Amino acid sequence: MEIKKMMSFLAMLTILLAAQSRHGHAAANNFVVTRGFHFVLGGSPFYANGFNAYWLMTVASDPSQRPKISAAFRQATANGLTVGRTWAFSDGGANALQYSPDPTTRRCSSMTDRVITRANTLTGTLYKDDPTIFAWELINEPRCSSDLSGNTVQWEPISSPTIRSQESISQLCIPIQINGKCIQFSPIPKLISARQFQLLALKRRMISPRLPSSSDQSQLQFLNNWLDSHSGDAQFILRKPLMVTEFGKSSKDAGYSSSQRDALFQTVYSKIYQSAKSGGAAAGCLFWQLLVDGMNSMRDGYEVVLDETTATARIISTQSRQLRYIGRLYARERNIASITCFLSIMLEMQQSDRAARTIILGQGTFNIEQLNLKEASQAN
C-alpha cells in the first residue's frame, strides 16, 4: 500500500459493479454523475461500498490466474459491494515519468489518451464512454511534505481539461491522504486551490492512522475527528462528494487482532452511513484490499479475504445493505415528490379546465338567449 513512485502517473480505474455493466452502449443516465456534493445514478443518490484490488491488471495478464478475478467479483457482489478500484500499471518503471517537466507532461498525456480511448475487447465500448467506469483518478497519493502551498500539484489544471475533452461523463478526481507519517493537517484549500476543485469530483482517501504511543481508542477518536472535519470541508467549502478510497488495519501491526480491524471498519462505515443518512457529502468508502484464496504473495497485512473473515464480511455486507436502503429511501421520496407534483399539476389543470368550460358554456347560453330574443322580436 505504501507509495513507491512519488509522482508517477497512475490511472486509477474505479469500476462500477452493476447489472447494466454487461452492456457496452448504455444511455447517458447510466453514468454516475455529481449533483452538488452528491453522486447520482439515474436521478437517485448513489452511495458506494467497495474495495481496492490494485492487482486486477497484473493477474489478468496471466490467463491461468484469471479465475481469481471472477472469484473476487463474485465474493464482492455477494456482500453487496458495488465499486472496485484498480490501477493501470505498466507505465515504464519506477522513474519513467521523472526526467523533466516537459517529457513528463507529454508522456502523461500520451498514457491518458491510450487508456481512456481503449476499446473494451468484450463490448467494443471505449473506456471513456463506458458507464461501468465510475471515476478516473489522476495520481496516486500525491504529497510533498516540504511544500504545503499546493504548487506541487499545479499540473492538475492542465491534465484535467485534457482528460475532460476525451472523456464522456465519468468522475475525475484527485486524492488527499493520511497514511502513516504523511498525515496532512493543512486545510484543503492550501493543498489544492478552489479553482482546481471546480474541475473535479472530489475523491479522498486515508489509511489506518499510525499515531505512535497512542491507544487504539485514541486512534479511532482521531479518525472520527478527521472524517468529521473533512466531510464538513467537502460539503460546505468544496461542495463536492467525499469518498474514503483506502482504509484498513494491518495484521502486521504490533498487538493486532481482528477485532481491532472490525472496530476500524465500523468507525469508517458509521461515519459514512450517518453522513449519507443526513444528506451529507460522504458518498461511500473502499477498503484496502480485497484478495481471494491462492493470492498469498499479495498479502500485505491489510488484505480481506471474505471467505476467511466472516465477522468482517458481516460488517461489510451490513454497510452495503444500509447504504442501499438509504439510496432507495431517497429514491422513493423523490418519486413521491414527483407524483405529488404531478397530481398537483393535474388538479390545477382540472380546475382550470372546469372554470374554462363554465365560462364557455355561460357565454354560449348567453349568446343563444340573445339569438332567441332576436328571433322572437323579428317574428313579431
pTM of the model: 0.68
Catalytic residue set: 141, 246
**Mean local confidence (pLDDT), 335-354:** 64
Q: What local confidence, expressed as pLDDT, does residue 240 receive?
A: 86
Assigned domain for 274 exists: yes
Beta strands at 242-244 and 282-287: parallel, antiparallel or unpaired: parallel
Burial class (CB in 10 A: 0-12, 13-18, 19+), 165: exposed
86: domain CATH number is 3.20.20.80
**Could you tell me if residue 337 is inside a domain?**
no
Average pLDDT (223-234) is 87
According to the model, what pLDDT value does residue 360 have? Answer: 44
Residues whose CB falls within 8 Å of the CB of residue 266, separated by 6 or more in sequence, listed in order: 315
Which residues have a Cβ under 8 Å from the Cβ of 94 and sit 6 or more positions away? 4, 5, 8
Sorting pLDDT into bands at 50, 70 and 90, what band is 373?
A: very low
State how far the Cα of 175 lies from the Cα of 153, in Å rounded to an integer.
11
Task: Report yes or no: 358 and 366 within 8 Å, Cβ to Cβ.
Answer: no
Task: Output the DSSP codes for 86-99.
Answer: EEE--SSSTTTT-S
N residues, the chain: 380
How many domains in the chain?
Answer: 1
- At residue 78, the pLDDT reads 96
Q: Say if 371 falls within a structural domain.
A: no
In a domain, 160, yes or no: yes
**Candidate from 56-65, 188-197, 214-223 with smallest mean pLDDT:** 188-197
Q: What grid cell was written down for 52? A: 481496492
Grid cell locating 226: 478527521
Q: What is the pLDDT of residue 375?
A: 45
Orientation of helix 216-233 relative to helix 258-277, angle to 10°: 20
- The percent helix, strand, coil of the chain (3-state, each to 5) is 50, 15, 40
Is a pLDDT exceeding 60 seen at residue 167?
no
**Side chain identity at 21, as an amino acid letter?**
S
Query: Residue 327: inside a domain, yes or no?
Result: no
Domain, as residue range, for 273: 11-321
The C-alpha atoms of residue 73 and residue 82 are separated, in whole angstroms, by 10
CB atoms within 10 A of CB 234: 25
Q: Mean pLDDT, to the nearest integer, of 190-218?
A: 52
Confidence of residue 196 (pLDDT cuts 50, 70, 90): very low
In a domain, 61, yes or no: yes
Is pLDDT at 343 greater than 90 in this prediction?
Answer: no
The mean per-residue pLDDT over the stretch 128-157 comes to 71
What is the mean predicted confidence (pLDDT) over 286-313? 95
Q: How high does pLDDT run on average in the chain?
A: 72
User: Can you give the pLDDT at residue 378?
Assistant: 52
Name residue, grid cell 508517477. Answer: 8
pLDDT score of 168 more than 50: yes
